[in-house]
């Protein structure tokens, strides 16, 4: 029952919010906040897009393997560093002859790390030693010069074999201690000497391993932030566009049912009167009309489809060609204001819906036509013009 409610409650909430958003003027509130919130999310997505490119870059046969290896290295490098720090603090009284020092009390994890010290040393140097046997894309260290790679490989090999001897001495010392063997002090001395040699060698590489491990974790976190902000931004943009299209559809319906506008049918083959002068682009033909998609897929095809529909009304097609400067896709008109079109020919609408496409083109043409002919470029004037065009097309 709990899991059923877990699914039904969000679904019911979503349906209610959607239906409430269709109530005027709440749809305007939805559009405002969706547009407002999508702007910072879009900016965050752009800012963190480098993490998307990094995830998609290159031909990776083992995705995520290097990240996992670096996280493992980070764990053992931090463990070894904490154990070495605990050892140093513990040895201070012996080094300074019992001088009364106020040493800090470390968290219990530092004491626990001592139990993983030898394992950490073996894992770190063993992992680095095994790098030459794993895929190149998963390696922690990469070198530009072959000579440098040889020197580093020699250093890692020596350290690995020393860690192996230290581990053997450690377990031999434990066995000798449990059996009260007289060689216990010798094995302890050998173990501490090897540990003293390995600790600075480990410090040589651990600082880099810790830095790279932290970088990987931050990169994963920021990649997740990019994904969430990208998905949220697209959802908000889609919601904004959806309610805007619904609002525009209502406007089209309102315009087509406007009782104050009367349009007489044009008899077939009746000569069309030449447009009053001056038309801004008088005499321009369709082949000269600028259609600029700016890389928007399918945009030019949709514009040509709309012009094809207007071919049955030569005078209306002529008005579009002579009063609308151009039709150009402008992605900036969709940033936080999905969508908007301007009478200078800049369109932020993708022309995906047939009725809306014809209405919008007629509406923006109407602004210019009504301004030139009647010095009235208001929204109502443009809507009246668009309504007349839709009626003549038989789409009202």
| pLDDT tens-digit series, residues 35-85 | 778 778 878 877 877 766 565 555 567 777 888 888 998 998 888 888 877
Q: What is the pLDDT of residue 384?
A: 87
Helices (H), the chain: 2-21, 26-47, 49-56, 65-95, 108-113, 117-129, 146-178, 184-256, 299-310, 314-323, 354-374, 379-392
| pLDDT tens-digit series, residues 344-386 | 999 988 888 888 889 999 999 999 998 888 888 888 888 889 8
Residue 274 has pLDDT above 50, yes or no: no
- C-alpha 316/C-alpha 385 separation (Å) is 10
Q: What is the pLDDT of residue 131?
A: 83
- Report the sign of the C-alpha dihedral through residues 272, 276, 280, 283, in that order: positive
- C-alpha 371/C-alpha 276 separation (Å) is 13
Read off φ and ψ for residue 217, nearest 5 degrees.
-65, -45
User: How crowded is the C-beta side of 68, counted as CA atoms within 13 Å?
Assistant: 6
Structure tokens at 393: 């097309």
Q: What is the pLDDT of residue 268?
A: 40
Q: What is the pLDDT of residue 55?
A: 57
262 — pLDDT class (breaks 50, 70, 90): very low
- C-alpha 391/C-alpha 396 separation (Å) is 5
Mean pLDDT of 3-15: 77
Read off φ and ψ for residue 101, nearest 5 degrees.
-120, 140
pTM for this predicted structure: 0.55
What is the b/e burial string over 209-238, where b = at least 16 CB atoms within 10 angstroms of the residue's CB? bbebbeebeebeeebeebeebbebbeebbe
| pLDDT tens-digit series, residues 105-142 | 767 777 667 667 778 888 888 888 888 888 877 788 88
What residue ranges do the domains of the chain occupy?
65-95+106-230, 258-392
Q: Which of 204, 216, 210 is nearest to 75 (CA)?
A: 210
| pLDDT tens-digit series, residues 278-297 | 788 888 999 999 999 999 89
Q: Do residues 159 and 125 lie in contact, with contact meaning Cβ atoms separated by under 8 Å?
A: yes
Residue 337 has pLDDT above 60, yes or no: no
Residue 265 has pLDDT above 50, yes or no: no
Residue 324 has pLDDT above 60, yes or no: yes
CA distances from 381 to 346, 348, 362, 378 (A): 20, 21, 11, 5
255 — pLDDT class (breaks 50, 70, 90): low
Q: What is the pLDDT of residue 189?
A: 87
What is the maximal distance between C-alpha atoms in the chain?
122
316: left (phi over 0), alpha (psi -120 to 50) or beta: alpha
Distance of CA 54 to the CA centre of its chain: 12
Q: Do residues 73 and 120 lie in contact, with contact meaning Cβ atoms separated by under 8 Å?
A: no
Cα pseudo-dihedral 287, 293, 299, 302, rounded to 10: -10
Q: Do residues 43 and 49 lie in contact, with contact meaning Cβ atoms separated by under 8 Å?
A: no
């Amino acid at each position: 029952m709990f899991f059923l409610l877990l699914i039904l409650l969000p679904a019911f909430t979503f349906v209610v919010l959607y239906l409430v958003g269709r109530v005027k003027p709440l749809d305007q509130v939805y559009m405002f906040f969706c547009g407002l919130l999508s702007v910072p999310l879009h900016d965050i997505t752009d800012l963190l897009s480098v993490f998307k490119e990094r995830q998609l870059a290159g031909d990776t046969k083992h995705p995520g393997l290097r990240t996992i290896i670096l996280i493992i290295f980070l764990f053992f490098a931090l463990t070894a560093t904490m154990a070495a720090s605990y050892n140093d603090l513990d040895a201070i009284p012996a080094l300074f002859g019992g001088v009364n020092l106020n040493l800090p009390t470390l968290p219990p994890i530092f004491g626990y790390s001592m139990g993983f010290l030898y394992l950490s040393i073996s894992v770190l140097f063993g992992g680095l030693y095994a790098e030459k046997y794993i895929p190149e894309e998963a390696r922690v260290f990469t070198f530009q010069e072959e000579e440098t790679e040889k020197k580093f490989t020699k250093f890692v090999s020596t350290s690995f074999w020393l860690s192996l001897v230290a581990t053997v001495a450690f377990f031999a010392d434990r066995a000798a201690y449990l059996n009260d063997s007289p060689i216990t002090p010798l094995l302890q001395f050998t173990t501490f000497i090897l540990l003293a040699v390995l600790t600075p060698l480990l410090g040589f590489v651990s600082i880099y391993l810790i830095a790279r491990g932290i970088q990987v974790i931050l990169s994963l976190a920021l990649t997740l932030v990019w994904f969430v902000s990208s998905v949220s931004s697209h959802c908000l943009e889609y919601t904004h566009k959806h309610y805007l299209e619904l609002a525009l559809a209502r406007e089209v319906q309102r315009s087509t049912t406007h009782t104050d506008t009367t349009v007489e049918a044009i008899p077939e083959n009746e000569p069309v009167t030449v447009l009053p002068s001056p038309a801004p682009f008088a005499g321009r033909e369709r082949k000269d009309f600028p259609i600029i998609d700016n890389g928007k897929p399918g945009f030019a095809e949709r514009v040509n489809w709309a012009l094809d529909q207007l071919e049955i009304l030569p005078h209306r097609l002529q008005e579009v060609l002579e009063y609308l400067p151009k039709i150009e896709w402008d992605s900036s008109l969709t940033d936080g204001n999905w969508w908007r079109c301007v009478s200078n020919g800049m369109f932020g609408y993708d022309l995906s819906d047939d009725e809306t496409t014809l209405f919008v083109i007629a509406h923006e043409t109407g602004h210019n036509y009504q301004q030139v002919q009647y010095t009235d470029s208001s929204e109502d004037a443009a809507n009246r013009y668009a309504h007349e065009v839709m009626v003549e097309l038989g789409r009202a």
